[in-house]
Structure 1
């Protein structure tokens, strides 16, 4: 079975980006001597699924495309023309629902998928497709922006089991959670 995995940073007040998708608030916490585990995480996945907002943000970084692994962008608005020519062999677009996409990726041999972007993460969580999440809490309040979690219209609570907490000298705190099964009606 193909599983979804999250690795993301969030401000203390729950935002993953500013309203304009800027990540400038993360820069003061960049500590090149701290290994937050991203490279090991990337080595553990077969590819990425992200939303169009995340895709546009990564394109806006300039420079080389940061991902060597295949990327699927979930979008109803982007077209093939929105993908730069240099990325067309590495980035594909999909309009599939999360479960259908995961089934297709499984048929292509993917086992572990890096799921990125607030709306995409929430949609995968709603469908029970996320196995675990590594969330780095950044000690800053940015006041407004794009929430990692917000209203999700859940059929049942999603329970998380804390697996590990790691504190860094920069002030970042990484917490790894396993996503438990939603409670059964007997638990209610």
Structure 2
């Protein structure tokens, strides 16, 4: 069964990036940003162990494609974009990265037909598109103890309420607090 999962960090005031998309406030996200606490990956490796495919939008891909080491090694990565082409993908990533024009409903159907199990949905616009389409199954949000004041929000307008069942909360020594939820389907 295909499960669409989100694993994302926000500031205390709900932003996933600065207004210009920078992630310098996120521990370990950029070489010149806040250093990640030694020995704490905040559950990312365990989460990735259950992921076969990563789906993200063009904006997120343009932010992460220079990350080294590549955080998605060994996973197929699908970039949702109507403008990006395979030629825009860096040469060293082309083997594991494909571009899909969408919409998310079509991509989800294709992944289900392929028998894909865990799908990691990443990036604000992509998370919101999957959420609006009613496709998300699990949501893990890690709050970083910083107020940005402004930025790109994780959530946006919806056609109706989406209820979630709380699974667990974990506090880390670094001050980060992580909440995990499963969607409630009536």
- TM-score normalized with structure 1 length: 0.89
Q: Deviations over 1:61-114 (max 9, x none)?
A: 3x3432120000001121222111221110000112112101111222212100
> Does residue 24 of structure 2 align to residue 24 of structure 1?
yes
1:29 and 1:172 in contact (8 A); partners too: no
Q: 2:103 aligns with which of 97, 107, 113?
A: 97
Q: 1:44 aligns with which of 50, 56, 65?
A: 50
Residue segments in structure 1 that go unaligned for 5+ positions in a row: 184-188
2:82 and 2:102 in contact (8 A); partners too: no
Structural mapping, 1:95-134, within 5 Å? 95-134=101-140
More helix by share: 1
Q: Name the CA distance, whole Å, in 2 between partners of 1:45 and 1:64.
A: 18
Q: Deviations over 1:108-147 (max 9, x none)?
A: 2212100000010011011111111110001101111211
Q: How far did 1:29 drift?
A: 6.5
Matched residue, 1:164: 168
Q: How far did 1:34 drift?
A: 2.2
Q: 1:135 aligns with which of 120, 141, 156?
A: 141
Matched residue, 1:58: 64
Residue segments in structure 2 that go unaligned for 5+ positions in a row: 28-33
Matched residue, 2:93: 87
Q: Name the CA distance, whole Å, in 2 between partners of 1:170 and 1:83.
A: 34
1:2 and 1:103 in contact (8 A); partners too: no
Q: Name the CA distance, whole Å, in 1 between partners of 2:154 and 2:109.
A: 25
Report how many residues are paired: 179
3-state SS of the aligned residue for 2:159? coil
Instruction: Go from structure 1 to structure 2 and tell me whether the alpha carbon gap of 1:85 and 1:60 turns closer, same or farther (over 3 Å shift).
Output: closer
Matched residue, 2:30: none
1:165 and 1:174 in contact (8 A); partners too: yes
Q: How far did 1:35 drift?
A: 4.0
- TM-score normalized with structure 2 length: 0.90
Which range moved further: 115-124 or 74-83? 74-83
Matched residue, 1:186: none
